[in-house]
Structure formats: structure tokens, C-alpha cells
Structure 1
Amino acid sequence: MQDQFDLDVFGNYLFIFCGGSRNKYNALHWDGDGFILLYKRLKSGVIQVIQWPRSREDLRMVSQQELRWLLEGLSIEQPKAIKKAKTGYFH
């Protein structure tokens, strides 16, 4: 992570790793005094990610809703999801 993506593993990040079969994942987070490791194996189906990041440029921020979809094995690109409104004034 530090070498490939130039990210501090002790920063405020949630790192998610998916195996080749895409039916299980690990998530890693530093909480200040140790790492939290989450492992999940889907009983059926696969994690719906088109491509996992391979470089820092491929990384992206995800909303809590997108993270929930991802952890449930759904695509984070939900075509029927209501998009958040842009902040500011409407004309």
C-alpha cells in the first residue's frame, strides 16, 4: 500500500482487498492503537467491482452508501440510485 499507492497505512483510510474469486474480501483500518481487520466471505455471488485500483490514480473516494453496497456484494455504480444533489443555489 505504501509503496504501490503512496498512502500512509496509519492514515484515516479503509483499505479493501479482494481475492481473485471475488467472493471474499479483507478490510484494514488503523484506529489509533492497532489495526482492525474485517474478513467477509459471501455465501453466494461475487463482489461487483469492474476493476480494483492498480495505481494511486485509480483510487477513489466512496460514500457510506457505496461502501455498504460494495460490502454487500453489489456494484457501487447503482444505476437506479438517487444521486445526491449538488450543494449551492438552484436557479
Structure 2
Amino acid sequence: MPEPVIVPTAGVRIVIATKPVDFRKGHDGLAAVVQNELGLDPHSGVIVVFRPKRADRVKILTWDGTGLVLAYKRLEDGRFAWPAIHDGVMRLSRAQFEALFEGLDWRRVWGTRVRRPAAAE
């Protein structure tokens, strides 16, 4: 199995934005979603996985210290396994992220945690 394009280092936080996003959004649009809707800092090094309505695609946004990096993947066969749709994010382990990126069922890998964004004041 080939290595994912984005290989998280030990200790980096990886989350899935569980609500589908408009995949026409680029770096800045997705960074705005991370900050305004998910309540996270897009420049903190967190890896954010985005899902569209179509289950065969994924976008990944992260800050590498010099700029925002956006990776896009479309599976030729099959679909990505996605968590239930709701507002907020769900944390993934590195092993779960790697399984998801390969199109495998990451839910069979141990350890997930859901966090909903703080209520807007």
C-alpha cells in the first residue's frame, strides 16, 4: 500500500469536518470554514479532512508552516467511509486517517472522538 500524500507526524491533530462542504471551495474558503464554522485555527497545523456530498472524494487542508496545503483525492473505484453527518468535527488517529485516505473503512481502526463547535455568542 503506497504512503498517503500527506503523512501526519506524531502528535499532529487530525479531524474530519463531518458536515459536507461545497467542493468548489479552495484554500481560503476551506480555511474560513475551519475558523468560522469549526472553531479551529487553520494555521495551527491541524489536518482537516473535508467531505462532499459525493462519497468518492476527499479534500485535506493543513498548514505546513509556510502556507496552506490542499490535497484532493477522487477514488476511481468505491467510496470513502464517512461518519454520520452533523455539525462539528470528529478526531481521527493517524492510523484511521491513513485508512480513510486509502479508501478503507477507517471505522475498523480504534479510537474516535466527536467535538461539536462552541455555540456562537
Q: TM-score, normalised by structure 2?
A: 0.57
- RMSD (Å) for aligned C-alpha atoms: 1.9
Equivalent of 1:49 in 82, 101, 112: 82
Question: Deviation digits for residues 39-67 of structure 1, max 9, x if unmatched?
Answer: 11100111111325522xxx232111100
Q: From the superposition, tell whether residues 53 and 13 of structure 1 become closer, same or farther in structure 2 (CA, over 3 Å).
A: farther
**Equivalent in the alignment of 1:14:** 47
Q: From the superposition, tell whether residues 36 and 52 of structure 1 become closer, same or farther in structure 2 (CA, over 3 Å).
A: farther
Q: From the superposition, tell whether residues 65 and 53 of structure 1 become closer, same or farther in structure 2 (CA, over 3 Å).
A: farther
Which amino acid is the alignment partner of residue 60 of structure 1?
A: M
* Structure (1 or 2) with the greater strand fraction: 2
Q: TM-score, normalised by structure 1?
A: 0.74
Q: Select the structure with the greater relative contact order (CA < 8 A; seq sep ≥ 6).
A: 2
Runs of 5+ consecutive residues of structure 2 not aligned to the other structure: 1-33, 112-121
Runs of 5+ consecutive residues of structure 1 not aligned to the other structure: 85-91
Contact 2:45 2:65 (8 Å CA) reproduced: no
The percentage of aligned residue pairs carrying the same residue is 26
Q: From the CA coordinates, give the structure whose radius of gyration is larger.
A: 1
* Corresponding residue pairs, total: 78
Structure 1 segments of 4 or more deviating over 3 A? none
